[in-house]
Structure 1
């Protein structure tokens, strides 16, 4: 089954925002990780000023998942409050992820091609022909959850 979630991007205040949402809706995060927790990669160094920012947070609200992260480095130049969200699509298999990614990117712009990630997901990002940002992923470890 394919699931769709909202993914919010913040300019350094993701943790504050998600703690606020948690105070409103209750419950707890299923995951929260900071940029300092990422494996080091010389191609994508994390500055000291970004290490404490949120790399990813997952927060279930009812039957949906609200996700988010802070922006930083080269990504921060594209941040614009009000357009700081993406639609996240999680699929049951890699073929479905590729199919949806390819169709959504027709006439749009691929930001990050589908590829394996350090967080053990098959993942890609794009902006469709209408300017909507999408994240497409398949994670075999979450398939049966």
Structure 2
């Protein structure tokens, strides 16, 4: 099967809301399990997301969970500004994703032609996650 890398985004208690939003944007199948589902139904964090995975029709896989604030030694929660999810390709449907993700968020670079010849843009979505887009308009 080989290996693959999938982003796993940490949220501060709103992972369910975020991944449901991403499913609306990208479509696909969402798997979501809580702390209770993993055998801790009496935990004060029983309803927090411990694992989620969104597999989209375009072949993207996004994973997410809620920050485990009750785990000793785990670093404190920090919004997702240290990671950006990068979408790159010649699929013009990327424009639609850009527009949908920008709702309630902040466009930090409008999606437009750049000096290297491609269309590129970036945004921070309503959950504080950075997204970067590059739509190839030239032959590589």
Give the TM-score normalised by structure 2: 0.49
Structure with the largest fraction of helix: 1
RCO greater where, 1 or 2, for CA within 8 Å and sep 6 or more?
1
